[in-house]
Structure 1
Amino acid sequence: WQIRINNKLYPAQLLNPGASIDLNSRTVELRFALQAPLLTGELAYLTYQDHQQQNGYWIPLTALTEGLRGVWTVMAIVPKSDKNHQILEQRTVKVIFANGTDAYITGAIHPHEQIVADGLHRVVAGQEVETALQLKGKNNE
């Protein structure tokens, strides 16, 4: 393990891996032993890379909403049976990785399927919708 403090890298030994994830910050608390001159309260950064070969999709964090029992969901835009209209369908996904703006997900999303990227507080599953591309087409006619 490598810990960066004041732009210097220090080797570190993991003493205690975290047992739970903070649901608000999506972080895990870890305890390391360092052989470095530190001051109490000094900010340290863990240098960490985890490569995973997993098929999935990058989506904005604003497209995610917390579902039941701690799962994450997105709203997929699916065609209705008459093919002229679309409705929203809630889908369960697994967050593999998240940064400050985006999340890498797997789950019940298919290639080329559209999802609601923002404004989830204004829509519900089963609601009939039109995409921005459909609306633009109507304005140009």
Structure 2
Amino acid sequence: MKINIIKIPKIEDPRGNLSVIEKEVLPFEIKRVYYLYDVPAGAERGGHSHKEQQEFLIALSGSFDVIINDGKVEKSVTLNKPFEGLLITNGIWRELKNFSSGAVCLVVASDVFSEADYIRDFNEFLAISSK
């Protein structure tokens, strides 16, 4: 499956830690950054795949589960550390669930928003991924 947990460099300091995402950390140029927060209890986010775009998800605060599926295998990854993230390449279905209270999910993307890059129907995703 085309996913990978990547450690984000952490500079430890008694005054508070600092983590930095620079071009050496990710295998793509950063084109967009957005974040999810105030997700109500029981709500789910994601529910799509990308044709081209890659994304790097980080739990800046709290925790949440990322359910990923490549059309053959489904796997769950819990993100709960602000110094590591989940790299999801294109062609992977993702669903975000089980957000803890106060969770913040930062998403660093390889491209700007384009609705044409999304596959939002799971059956369509399965048909494309089986080719």
Normalised by the length of structure 1, the TM-score is: 0.22
Whose Rg is larger? Answer: 1
Between structures 1 and 2, the one with greater helix share? 1
Higher relative contact order (CA 8 A, sep 6+): 2
> Could you tell me the TM-score, scaled by structure 2's length?
0.23
